[in-house]
Amino acid sequence: MSDTSESITQAFLSAGRVGRPHGLDGSFHVTRPRPLLLSAGATVHVGGTATVIDRRSGTDERPILRLRGTSSREQALALRGSDLLVARDDLPSLPEGEYWAEDLAGCAVVDGTRAVGTVRRMMPLPSCEVLEVQRPEGEDLLVPMVRDAIRTIDVAARRIDIDLSFVQGEG
């Protein structure tokens, strides 16, 4: 199986990475944060061990966490560089029309019955998120995650139907 086709079956999603310590109480900055997954009381896995977020402060862009059982700067420093993972069973529910980026990677992209390519990844841009679609021929295609561009998303079927003429500015 390729990495992209495994994305739908990954047991964990990344919530960020342990950054530099903050203060003396075991708190640390989070790099590459996913704020929705980093709430106080949430369970995260660090180095293969499940633990609970005891405290969350800072901002969504620069969160600061303290984990249960981590109470010194030295303990936080020992975790630096470790991934913060959340089990799929512990993920919060997403509102209608929102998706985990990992679940869209590897999906086939079509325009009706015409194959367009495969989702490489979802990327945030200032105005909206876009799907980076790898095409068999030519350059990658960026598809904005807006109703005019995307007709349907079927994560279970691994299929996304787009309006290619809208995406290419022809319609």
Backbone dihedral angles phi then psi of residue 156, each to the nearest 5 degrees: -60, -40
| 89, 120, 148 - which closes a domain | 89
Residues 19 and 78 in one domain: yes
pLDDT, averaged across the chain = 91
Q: Residue 144 in 3-state DSSP?
A: strand
Whether the predicted pLDDT of 7 surpasses 50? no
Whether the predicted pLDDT of 3 surpasses 50? no
Say if CB 158 and CB 108 are below 8 A apart: yes
Q: Would residue 145 count as lying in a domain? A: yes
Say if CB 160 and CB 142 are below 8 A apart: no
User: Which range among 40-44, 61-65, 79-83, 134-138 shows the weakest confidence by mean pLDDT?
Assistant: 134-138
Say if CB 163 and CB 111 are below 8 A apart: yes
User: For 75-86, what is each residue's pLDDT tens digit?
Assistant: 999 999 999 999
* Number of domains making up the chain: 2
Residues 14 and 85 in one domain: yes
Residues 85 and 115 in one domain: no
**Given pLDDT bands bounded at 50, 70 and 90, which one contains residue 150?**
very high
Which positions ≥6 away from 50 have C-beta within 8 Å? 43, 44, 87
Tokens of 101: 């980026």
Whether the predicted pLDDT of 42 surpasses 70? yes
**Given pLDDT bands bounded at 50, 70 and 90, which one contains residue 94?**
confident
| 89, 119, 152 - which closes a domain | 89
Residues 132 and 76 in one domain: no
Residues 81 and 16 in one domain: yes
